[in-house]
Every structure is written in structure tokens, then in C-alpha cells.
Amino acid sequence: MKVLVTGASGLLGGAVAAGLRDAGHEVRTFQRRPSGVPGVEDVLGSVTVPDDVQRAVAGVDAAVHLAAKVSFAGDPADFERVNVEGTRTLLDALRTAHVERLVFVSSPSVAHAGSSIVGDDATAADPEHARGDYARTKAKAELLALAADSADLRVVAVRPHIVWGPGDTQLVERVVERARAGRLPLLDHGAALIDTTYIDNAASAIVAALHRVDAVHGNAYVVTNGEPRPVAELLAGICAAAGVRAPAWRVPAGLARAAGSAIEAVWRVRPGEDEPPMTRFLAEQLSTAHWFDQRRTRTALEWEPQVSVDEGLRRLAHHYRR
């Protein structure tokens, strides 16, 4: 197949493009800057510009949509424009070009309302109760994508949970930078169980979803390593891999949530250059359990993760030693 991958300049998008290339597909990527993935065709542009999107989808058989605004803070209108309207623009272009398959890459946060998730399967995206502008707009976009599912355009949504690995700037780099500066607390005792997804596993699951889309379209699947660990253990493992001291000081979760709400309000008026040090969504993620039953996902996608958390941490340590 000739497959379009949007957002391939990011860690996960690049890994998906490489995985599809290695599986023998002809790969075109579409994003605002070169993907850096060898052996693929780059088309530069924005999902918010219809002419760019139409140029990107011309002649492809399938698409994997990862392009999104991902941040804990920012102008709500930007999230809406990129995540919701960008998805709408892509869907219109795919239908016009008679593209038959789409994997929409989503997030478990689209169905997270702030309380613990303990062994759940993928529940319906819920924009009304999703926490933060990113989760809210991704929920709206996922609903748009799945509503477009039909015999002519088969759509499946895949929700990788907390993707990390060497080169990750969204989670790993921020954990390491804040730990090095002594600004990384544990909320309560850091005992909440959370699941994560090593980058290679997330990419291979998305490739598997594309191969299985004719059988599983119309559904959403959460993807994880299936190895829940306490937050404190995961943070300590990342810090050890990078050679920095693990967080040892603690903040009550309730205080962190209140502080996060206050910081978000200030950030809307006077945004900083980087992500805010705390948001309510981040405080909830660090203090509540969120791990998922993977049996349905693995059966439907005919997929198994190949890299364990411990092996991922060894690879991360090797990356930092280099």
C-alpha cells in the first residue's frame, strides 16, 4: 500500500513511518518540517490548510493520522484549529480522494475524567469531561473520525498510553530536566499504578492496526505495555537511565491539583516559554491509577508488545551513555 503518515516529524510519527517502510509499504509523510525518516517521501504543509492536505492525500491508499497540537497549556483556539478542524479537513480530503483506510492515533486521555482507571478497556471518548484542552479536542477529533467510518473509508482509533523512549522530548526529557533541577516531586507517595508504552511497541501496534483495519474498523483500542508500575518506580527508572537523582520530596496530591489549576489560570494570561510546571491534568495523571485491560486490543490487532519496560529502560540508559 501507499500510506500517508501525518505528523511524522514527532517521535511516534517517525517510528510509525519507519515501521511501515520496513513492512514494505510506500510511505509519504506530511508535516510542517522534514520528517528525517530515510526512504520516505516528505510533503510539507499543515493539516489546517485544505490545499496542503489535498496534495498530501493524492494517490494514497491509506492514512495514519498523528499530527496534533500536544501540550499541557496554550490557546484553546489553537487546539481546536489543529486537532479538531485539522482532522475534519483530513477526513474531507480522504473521502474526496477515495482513500479506503484510516488509523486515527488518539489518546486514553479522551476518556479520562480525573478518577482512577483500573483495568478498564477503551471507553467512549468524552469531550465534555476530558481534562484539558488537548484531551478535550482529541476526544472531539476521535468522535469525528469514528463517525466517518463506512464501507468506503474504514476507520480505527488507536490510543497509545504514555509513549516514551530514547529521543522523547514530551515525557523523558522533561522528567530528566526537572529532576536535575530538583523540581520533580512525588505526589502523595508516588504509589499510583500507571501503565506506559515503549516507543517501539506503540509504533508496531499502529502498524498492526492498519493491517487489521478491515476487520476492526469502527472501534477504539487502548495500547500499552501491559506492565503497570508505581509512578515513583517509573520516574526513578527514567532518572537512573539518565544518571540523575530520582525525586524524593513529596507534595500532597490535593495541593498539587489546586496549584495546577491556579498555574493554568496564570499561564493563560502570561504564558511562559516552556510547559507550565504543574497543571490539574498533570497532577491527576501523577496521582491516580491508570492501567488498562489489554486482552481485547491484543486479540483484535493480533499484536503483542516486544520490548518490556525494563528492556526499554536499558535502551534509554544506553541512549544517554552515548
Q: Are strands 2-6 and 62-65 parallel, antiparallel or unpaired?
A: parallel
Please determine, for residue 30, whether its predicted confidence score (pLDDT) is greater than 90.
Answer: yes
Query: Catalytic: 198?
Result: no
Over range 150-164, report the average pLDDT.
Answer: 96
Q: Domain limits of the chain?
A: 2-161+197-223+293-306
197-233 pLDDT tens trace = 999 999 999 999 999 999 999 999 999 999 999 988 9
CA distances 197 to 69, 80, 159, 309, 313, Å, are 20, 26, 10, 8, 12
Residue 23, burial from CB neighbour count under 10 angstroms (0-12, 13-18, 19+):
middle
Query: pLDDT digit string (tens) for 308-317?
Result: 999 999 999 9
Write the DSSP assignment of 202-241 as a string of letters: HHHHHHHHHHHHHHHTT-EEEE--S--EEHHHHHHHHHHH
Helix axes 231-242, 172-180, angle to 10 degrees: 80
- Compute the average pLDDT of residues 284-291: 72
pTM of the predicted structure, to 2 decimals: 0.91
Angle among Cα 169, 171, 172 to the nearest 5 degrees reads: 75
pLDDT of residue 219: 97
End-to-end distance of the chain based on CA atoms, in angstroms? 36
Instruction: Please tell me the class of the 2-161+197-223+293-306 domain.
Output: alpha beta
pLDDT tens by residue, 79-124: 999 999 999 999 999 999 999 999 999 999 888 766 777 778 888 8
pLDDT above 90 covers a percentage of the chain that reads 63
Residue type, 262: A
Q: Of 134, 198, 221, 320, which is the active-site residue?
A: 134
